[in-house]
Amino acid sequence: MTSKKKSVSVVPLGDVPEVDLQVIADHIIGCFKLTTQILPPMDPPEYALDERRLQYNAAIIIEMFESIHFSDHDKVIAVLNQDLFIPIFTHVFGEARQGGKCGLVSLYRLAKNPDGSTPPKSTIHERAAKVALHELGHLLDLLHCEHKKCLMHFSGGIDEVDEMSLDLCEYCSIYLQDKLR
Ligand SMILES: [Zn+2]
Ligand SMILES: [Zn+2]
């Protein structure tokens, strides 16, 4: 068994504002206590565009990412502006496979409230941090949690993202500590 701390890289796909990357990296460090590094941008995932839906297929992007060798990085959080979907949902804020290597965070739908109004920047940043930590939770083997305030609660709409907290419930927290040991 190795006690080496897991490290997470945050990588922008295309032109993602530096501040969003920094907020995500800071929350990974602060909330999950993991070593985090922001990598130089990679190309936006045009290969994953679904021409009929005009959205990007999250599974195709993750598959591509899982095939890349990121040396020294245990987990990768890719951040992009494109609207993501998986076939059973109209859209997703992020996507990751349980225990996988690479998770996605889409900023596309975070800058609008359910009533169409624009939230303050601080709200958008908090949402981005929640989605990123939630997907990283999946990469670290966490499943969805029924507690509405828990970071691992499933969010289908932005109101549910707002309702959940940046923290794991007691149960998920113990599970994660066990995984990171
Ligand atoms: Zn989830
Ligand atoms: Zn929980």
pLDDT per residue as tens digits for the range 139-166: 999 999 999 999 999 999 999 999 999 9
Within-domain flag for 96: yes
The Å distance, Cα 9 to ligand 2 centre, comes to: 24
Within-domain flag for 117: yes
What is the mean pLDDT of the segment spanning 127-135?
A: 98
Q: Cβ of 64: how many Cβ atoms within 10 Å?
A: 14
Within-domain flag for 84: yes
Query: How far is Cα 56 from Cα 23, in angstroms, rounded to an integer?
Result: 24
The Å distance, Cα 41 to ligand 1 centre, comes to: 25
* pLDDT for position 64: 93
Which residues belong to the active site?
A: 135
The Å distance, Cα 164 to ligand 2 centre, comes to: 10
Number of the ligand closest to the Cα of 139: 1
Within-domain flag for 131: yes
Within-domain flag for 1: no
Within-domain flag for 128: yes
What is the mean pLDDT of the segment spanning 114-129?
A: 95
* Residue in 157, 137, 142, 159 with CA at minimum distance from that of residue 75: 137
Residue 75 is part of which domain span? 7-180
Number of the ligand closest to the Cα of 154: 1
Domain tally, the chain: 1
Find the CATH number of the domain harbouring 92: 3.40.390.10
* pLDDT for position 143: 96
What pLDDT band is residue 4 in, cutting at 50, 70 and 90?
low
Residue 1 has pLDDT above 70, yes or no: no
Tens digit of each residue's pLDDT (9 = 90 or more) over 53-111: 999 999 999 999 988 877 777 899 999 999 999 988 899 999 999 999 999 999 999 99
The percentage of the chain sitting over the pLDDT mark of 70, rounded to a whole number, equals: 97
Within-domain flag for 59: yes
What would the two tokens of residue 38 be? 């922001």
Within-domain flag for 2: no
* pLDDT for position 73: 75
What would the two tokens of residue 161 be? 């993202």
Amino acid at the residue 52: R
